[in-house]
Chains A and B, each alone.
Chain A
Amino acid sequence: MNGRPRARRLAAAVAACALVSTAAPAFAQVDFSGAWGARLHEDNLERGGGPEMNEFEGLPINAADRMRGDSWSASLWTVPEHQCIPHPADYGPNFSQLVMWSDVDPVTKDVVAWHTELSWMNPVRTIWMDGRPHPPAWAPHTWQGFSTGKWEGDMLTVETTHLKPAYVRRNGLARSEKAAVREHFIRNGDILTIVTIVTDPVYLTEPYIKSRNFQFDPGYRMTPYPCSVDVEIDRPAGEIPHYLPGANPFISEAAAKHKMPLEPARGGAETMYPEYMERMKTLPTATMPAQPAAAGTAAPPASPAAVGTPARTPER
């Protein structure tokens, strides 16, 4: 028998025990400083090009969030107020290079805060390590929220509140501003794993858990990503793209395209678990929707003249 695989297994077991241990002293801190390259091997297709329309599988969404997703039109991203939105703290680690650095108290040498910055849109987070409380309910919400961290052994556990409303998936599935996010930052040599747990009392029936890995990349240099708000699509000001209930023509498209049943594509907590695959085998394959006459029409019926309705875009 070749001893090398056995030694590797033993080393891995020891490392795993070390990671699992939570009885380590509070100052067993790990240094996350530096640049980290995103590794997109988990959920790659969603994180890269992006999810398909009405593809909700694997997410613990409720009926209200399903309706948000069914109503959503990708054209909403062209509305000026949506164009320069960065990914929120709970979505950011899905892709982008990551840079982390710390602020150190000059007297005690304690790390007072950790910061992260992502390459896409350059959002910067602060993770306070000094025990300060979270702000009250009436404080502003931000894309990155308000984060505090504490060490659990070698693992940095971060709690984030005060997030702006955002999304759990980039096809209209909403994540509300009432959500709280817990993260675990785990460094294992040159690999950084960020485990994100989203709890949303409005739109999720269970915590939504995902992990993302990064590899230490000392040669990386953060570059600026300035964003400009412009008129991308010429439409009357104030018109908000969306699908009226029952009018979304693409509900079964993703399932049919991938020869899946429709039910799993509608999402829900049960679609997260491996045992659901047995149920899937019993369900019929979805059928491709008929081509809509006016493909993807999302403009609602003309509304009555609004008081003070502004003019069409070019005159703004």
Chain B
Amino acid sequence: MKTSVAVVATLAIASAASLFAQGAAPAAGPAPAARTDGAGAVHVWPVQRNIYALFGPGGNSTVSIGDDGVLVVDTMTADAAPDLIAAIRTLSNKPIRWIINTHSHPDHTGGNAVVARSGVYIATGNTRGGGGASILAFENALMRLNGSAGSPDKVPEAGWPTDSFFVKQKDMFFNGEPVLTMHQPSAHTDADAIVFFRRSDVIAAGDVFTPDRYPVIDAAEGGSINGTIAALNTLIELAVPEFNEEGGTMIVPGHGRICDESDVGDYRDMVTIVRDRVQDLIAKKMTLAQVKAARPTFDYDGVYATPSFTGDMFVEAVYRSLTASPGAASRSPAR
């Protein structure tokens, strides 16, 4: 497993270089061997400067590699955690010091305990003891993971965030750059955060942006369609493309491929258009069944519908979000 992860990582780095080598003279030598993606393996892809994206069976992680150590955004599922650690070890032997959770769902936090245990907390004096990497999340995610919010996301204590914030943004400086963890209210859930690596110019978006599927709106955890659209527009405001709406700020989504601003723009357009269509049908006093029958996602289903989250399911989520009472299921928004 370790060997396959290492091989995949090496080939990924070579492929990434050729993808963006527009106009550059390529190095002479034999062509890279064909790669095989083993089932269950965590795949590595270098994004930009310090930042790498890791693609696992349940979702994506983003890691910052540098002299300060390793910072991991989202720890995948519990099952994938050993592969995640092995993949990180192909990039750096430095200690894992920080985990940041984009929200509380198990495909993003399931590996918290295992990954944290493999890391270290570096401090002296009268500060938090117990070792292990620190885990940062928005307060609502902490409440769900520690069970105080009565959520199914509850996990044993070893997986709880050690640090939380309840305001708009939590900043730190790590591996030579500002790392901004920015709360996105009432989006996928009410616990979402995106992580902006400002000098590397990479954003780990979590599940507010999932280009391989329709956005899942977890209404029970305070998610909403309008908050999702606002979060996508926030990503667009932060991102700056390098040339011709391509490159520049790169975005690692919660699920799906690596993207840039124009990809988020396309996705935002789709979500906004579907929202507008459903809103129009609600204004015409249609029932949910009638709205579904109108097939407001028909032209996008071929791109975004999946067996586990169909166009109908997305329409229903949008319908319920638009017809819900304001503030239903959401904890207090960040100040």
Residue ranges of A at the interface with B (Cβ–Cβ < 8 Å) = 63-65, 67-68, 71, 76, 79, 81-86, 103, 105-108, 112-113, 115, 121-126, 128, 130-133, 135-144, 146, 162, 164-165, 174, 176-178, 201-203, 227, 237-238, 240, 242, 244-245, 300-301, 303-310
Name the residue of chain B whose CB is nearest to the CB of A135: B15
Q: Shortest Cβ distance from A235 into chain B, in angstroms?
A: 13
B186, A307: Cβ atoms closer than 8 Å: yes
Identify the 5 closest CB pairs spanning chains A and B, nearest first: A81-B265, A306-B226, A202-B302, A300-B276, A67-B299
A227, B244: Cβ atoms closer than 8 Å: yes
Task: Check if B43 is an interface residue, CB within 8 A of chain A.
Answer: yes
Interface positions, chain B 184-238, Cβ under 8 Å from A, are: 185-187, 224, 226-227, 229-231, 233-234, 236-237
Task: Check if B150 is an interface residue, CB within 8 A of chain A.
Answer: no
A132, B257: Cβ atoms closer than 8 Å: no
With a CB–CB cut-off of 8 A, which chain B residues contact A176? Answer: 302-303
- Say which residue of A81, A106, A140, A301 sits within 8 Å of B257 (CB atoms): A140
Known pairs A65-B299, A244-B276, A308-B230 / 4 extra A-B pairs, C-beta < 8 Å: A140-B19, A140-B20, A142-B246, A308-B185
With a CB–CB cut-off of 8 A, which chain B residues contact A122? Answer: 244
A240 to B279, CA, bound (A): 14
Task: Check if B31 is an interface residue, CB within 8 A of chain A.
Answer: yes
A126, B279: Cβ atoms closer than 8 Å: no
- Say which residue of A79, A107, A132, A136 sits within 8 Å of B18 (CB atoms): A132
Task: Check if B68 is an interface residue, CB within 8 A of chain A.
Answer: no
Name the residue of chain B whose CB is nearest to the CB of A133: B34
A130 to B165, CA, bound (A): 51
B37, A136: Cβ atoms closer than 8 Å: yes
With a CB–CB cut-off of 8 A, which chain A residues contact B55? Answer: 138
Interface size on B, residues (CB 8 A): 70
B35, A133: Cβ atoms closer than 8 Å: yes
- Say which residue of A65, A130, A304 sits within 8 Å of B322 (CB atoms): A304
Interface positions, chain B 241-271, Cβ under 8 Å from A, are: 241, 244-246, 250, 256-266, 268-269
Q: Shortest Cβ distance from A69 into chain B, in angstroms?
A: 9
* Majority SS at the chain A contact face: loop
Q: Shortest Cβ distance from B260 into chain A, in angstroms?
A: 7
With a CB–CB cut-off of 8 A, which chain A residues contact B333? Answer: 307
Name the residue of chain A whose CB is nearest to the CB of B252: A138
Q: Shortest Cβ distance from A169 into chain B, in angstroms?
A: 15
Q: Can you list 5 residue pairs at the A/B interface with Cβ under 8 Å?
A: A67-B298, A79-B265, A140-B19, A140-B258, A244-B277
B19, A146: Cβ atoms closer than 8 Å: yes
Residue interface bits B34-47, CB-to-A below 8 A is 1, else 0? 11010000010100
Task: Check if B16 is an interface residue, CB within 8 A of chain A.
Answer: yes
With a CB–CB cut-off of 8 A, which chain B residues contact A146? Answer: 18-19
With a CB–CB cut-off of 8 A, which chain A residues contact B279? Answer: 300-301, 303-304
Which of B23, B32, B299, B303 counts the most chain A CB atoms within 10 A? B299
Q: Shortest Cβ distance from B184 into chain A, in angstroms?
A: 8
A306 to B64, CA, bound (A): 33
A123 to B22, CA, bound (A): 9
Which of A86, A303, A310 counts the most chain B CB atoms within 10 A? A303
B303, A202: Cβ atoms closer than 8 Å: yes
A142, B19: Cβ atoms closer than 8 Å: yes
Residue interface bits B306-319, CB-to-A below 8 A is 1, else 0? 00000000000000
B302, A64: Cβ atoms closer than 8 Å: yes
Q: Shortest Cβ distance from B131 into chain A, in angstroms?
A: 33
With a CB–CB cut-off of 8 A, which chain B residues contact A124? Answer: 22-23
A245, B294: Cβ atoms closer than 8 Å: yes
A120 to B194, CA, bound (A): 35
A306, B227: Cβ atoms closer than 8 Å: yes
A76 to B270, CA, bound (A): 12
With a CB–CB cut-off of 8 A, which chain A residues contact B328? Answer: none
With a CB–CB cut-off of 8 A, which chain A residues contact B261? Answer: 81
Decide: A138 near B262, CB < 8 A? Known: A64-B301, A307-B185: no
A162 to B16, CA, bound (A): 12
With a CB–CB cut-off of 8 A, which chain B residues contact A135? Answer: 15-16, 18-19
B233, A238: Cβ atoms closer than 8 Å: yes
With a CB–CB cut-off of 8 A, which chain B residues contact A71? Answer: 273, 299
